[in-house]
Amino acid sequence: MKIAPSILAADFSKLGEGILMLNSAADLIHLDVMDGTFVPNISFGFPVLEAVASNAKIPMDAHFMTVHPEKWVERTAALGVSMMSFHLEAAGRDTASIIGRIQEAGMKAGVVINPDVPVQKLFPYIGKADFFLIMSVFAGFGGQKFIPESIERVASLKKEIIRCGASTLIEVDGGVDAGNAASLREAGADILVAGSSVFKAQDPAAAIEDLRTA
């Protein structure tokens, strides 16, 4: 499994040090962009993405929790971001076209769903999206408790991806820690996002390794 630590849980006054640590210990850098409209919180925007981009030596994974994610595709691609995901709830009928636009911009396209959206809603995008992001908490805040039903959701999505003979990857985000990482891997998760369990750990690099080998 690949581990994508979310810098939302990092100490922003020492973000440079956090990025240096991730460059040597993580697989991806997960960037949570929140707009205060799609979710009831504001995190950070392009000035922070630019600062991360100029220091990142591993691929960046930008998770847009915003209305109109299509507005930000080209600007995100220009920063060298490798993976860009957006919420199905925000995109609705424009989902397929936004996937296409992200891919045309040279990035991997991901479709995200909150815990109250049936996984079947992702089925039409199997083989079209490069990855799916299953939220295991409601998007908006770091440090929430993992919703255990998420494991079953990952397993049913994986089953359908396999049935279709597709290679769409599954990423899981929210409350991921050493206690649920193994079950998520067994259910079919390919990428785990982790904020608090990495950045609040005594030894963040060791916490990343623990998740990867769970």
Among 1, 3, 6, 132, binds ligand DX5 (CB under 6 A): 6
Among 1, 28, 29, 32, binds ligand DX5 (CB under 6 A): 32
Enter the tokens of residue 67: 């209305």
Q: Is 32 a catalytic residue?
A: yes
Alpha helices in the chain (DSSP H): 15-25, 46-53, 73-78, 88-91, 95-104, 150-163, 181-187, 196-199, 204-212
* Site track 61-100 with Zn ion (rule: CB under 5 A), x = hit: --x-------------------------------------
**Helix 15-25 × helix 46-53 angle, to 10°:** 50
Contact segment (CB under 6 A) with ligand DX5 among 10-18, 20-28, 121-129, 190-198 equals 190-198
* Residue 143 contact partner, candidates ligand DX5, Zn ion, none, CB within 5 to 8 A by sort of partner: ligand DX5
Alpha-carbon dihedral sign for residues 57, 14, 133, 187: positive
Among 18, 142, 188, 204, binds ligand DX5 (CB under 6 A): 142
Residue 175 sits at the vertex; the CA angle it makes with 172 and 177, to the nearest 5 degrees, is 90
Contact segment (CB under 6 A) with ligand DX5 among 54-62, 69-77, 98-106, 172-180 equals 172-180
Under rule CB under 6 A, residue 5 binds ligand DX5: no
Residue 131 sits at the vertex; the CA angle it makes with 179 and 207, to the nearest 5 degrees, is 30
| DSSP codes, 104-128 | HTTSEEEEEE-TTS-GGGGGGGTTT
Q: Is 173 a catalytic residue?
A: yes
Among 56, 107, 126, 176, binds ligand DX5 (CB under 6 A): 176
- Catalytic-labelled residue, pool 35, 61, 130, 173: 173
| CA-closest candidate to residue 91, choices 61, 122, 118, 115 | 122
Under rule CB under 6 A, residue 192 binds ligand DX5: no
The total of other beta-carbon atoms located within 10 Å of residue 167's CB is 12
- Helices (H) and strands (E) counted in the chain, each on its own, are 9, 8
Among 25, 73, 139, 181, binds ligand DX5 (CB under 6 A): 139
- Any idea which residues carry the catalytic annotation? 32, 173
Residues that bind ligand DX5 (CB under 6 A): 6, 8-9, 30, 32, 63, 65, 137, 139-144, 173-176, 193-197
